[in-house]
Amino acid sequence: MKTLKVAGVYLILATVCPVSAAGAASKAPALDQKILTAQVLLDRLGFGPGVIDGHSGMSLTNALKGFQEARGLSKTGKLDPATIKALTAYGKTPGVIEVALTPADLKGPFVGPIPHDPEEQAKLPVMGYADAMEALTERYHTTKATLIALNSPTTKLAPGTKIKVPNVRPAATSYPGSLKTEWRTTLAGLSVSSDQPKAAKLVVDKSDKVLRAYDDQGKLIAQFPATMGSQHDPLPIGRWKIQGVSPLPPFHYNPALFWDAKPGDEKQTLKPGPNGPVGVVWMDLNKPHYGIHGTSTPETIGRTESHGCIRLSNWDAARLSLMVRPGTPAVFQQ
C-alpha cells in the first residue's frame, strides 16, 4: 500500500468521489447554521450530537434531551427558547471557525483505502487514516460533505491553506503526564479536551441507544450516542465494571468469536490506529470479549449493529476514557 501524497489534493478529491468539483458542490448539503452551532455547543459540553453536520436527526434529539435533563429543563428534544438560553449561558461560541492547515495536519501516515479482509488489514503498517481529509473530519467531529459545504470544493489541502471547520477545538490539552506521548497526541488530534469530569457510573440504555455518565451525586454529566449489540450478539444486559483502559490497542482477530467470519479465516493481529475495528481506545469490561470502544465509521453510530460491544465515535470514546477508571460501574439495561 503506497502512502498518499498531499500535494495537489483538494477537498473534493479527498472524498474519492468520481464526480467533478462543480457536480459535488451542487450536491453538497444545505447546512442549517443554527443547528450546526447547537451541535458544536452540545459536543463541547459533553452531550454528543453525533457527527456535526448542520442537520437534525435522532442523535441531535437525544443529545438535546440529555442536556435538558442535566440542566433541569423539559425534555423536549428540541431547540426551544429555554434550551437555547442554557446552551449560550457560557458565552457566545461561534459554530464555525477558520484554521490554517499546518504540515503536521497533513503529515500522516496515510494508508489509502482500508481493505475489508482481516488478512490484508494485518499487512498494513498501521490502521491509520486513509487520507488527510479523513483525519480532518475526525479532528473536527464532522463529515467530508460538511467540510466541502463549509468551504470551496476546490480548496487545496496544503500547509497554510485556511479552511472553515466546526468549532470543537479542545479547551485544554494539559493531559496527565502518565499518559504516553502518542496517546496525548491522539487526544489533541481528536479535539478532546483534557478537563473532563469524573464518572462514578455509566449507564448504557438500549431503548434510546445512548451511553450516559453520572457523577457520584447521581447527576448526568455526559451522554454519547452508541451502537450496541445485534440479533446475533445482543447487548449483555446486567451490571458490569470497567477493568481498564487500553489506548491505541492492536486488535486480535479471532474468527471463532465472529458469527460473520468467512470460512477459512485465520487469526490475525492488526496494528493500532483510528481505522482499526476498535478505533483508538478499548475500555475493557469484566465480561470476556466485551468492551466499550471507538470506531472508524462515526456516521453509522446508533444506525448499525455491533458484535455485542458498545461502539462510540473515536472522539467520544477517547473523551470517555478520560472520565472512567478501573472499577467504574457500567449498567447495561433495556
Once rounded to an integer, what is the mean pLDDT over residues 299-305? 69
How would DSSP label each residue in 135-192? HHHHHTTB-HHHHHHHS-TT-B--TT-EEEEES---S-----TTS-HHHHHHHHHTT-
Please say whether the beta carbons of 255 and 267 come within 8 A. Answer: yes
281-285 sheet: strands from edge to edge: 220-225, 210-214, 201-205, 329-333, 238-247, 281-285, 291-293, 310-311, 227-228
Once rounded to an integer, what is the mean pLDDT over residues 299-303? 77
Once rounded to an integer, what is the mean pLDDT over residues 113-127? 93
The pLDDT assigned to 18 comes to 31
Pairing of strands 238-247, 220-225: unpaired
Instruction: Provide the whole-model pTM.
Output: 0.89
Give yes or no for residue 5 having a pLDDT over 50. no
Instruction: Residue 44: count other Cβ atoms within 10 Å of its Cβ.
Output: 20
Give yes or no for residue 150 having a pLDDT over 70. yes
Instruction: Establish how many alpha carbons lie within 13 A of residue 303's alpha carbon, considering only the half-sphere containing its beta carbon.
Output: 11
Give the pLDDT band (50/70/90) at residue 163: very high
The pLDDT assigned to 225 comes to 96
Query: Which is nearest to 270 in space by CA: 262, 261, 279?
Result: 279
Give the pLDDT band (50/70/90) at residue 153: confident
Helix (H) or strand (E) holding 9: none
N-terminal to C-terminal alpha carbon distance within the chain: 44
Give yes or no for residue 22 having a pLDDT over 90. no
Give the pLDDT band (50/70/90) at residue 258: low
Query: Which is nearest to 278 in space by CA: 131, 132, 127, 140?
Result: 127
d(CA 78, CA 31): 17
Please say whether the beta carbons of 332 and 80 come within 8 A. Answer: no
The pLDDT assigned to 263 comes to 79
Once rounded to an integer, what is the mean pLDDT over residues 233-261? 85
d(CA 116, CA 108): 21
Domains in the chain, start-ordered, CATH in brackets? 13-29+94-169 (no CATH), 33-90 (1.10.101.10), 201-333 (2.40.440.10)
Give the pLDDT band (50/70/90) at residue 27: low
> What integer best gives the mean pLDDT of the chain?
88
Give yes or no for residue 192 having a pLDDT over 60. yes
Q: Residues 143, 33, 133, CA angle at the centre, nearest 5°?
A: 20
Comparing 13-17, 257-261, 309-313, the range with the smallest average pLDDT is 13-17
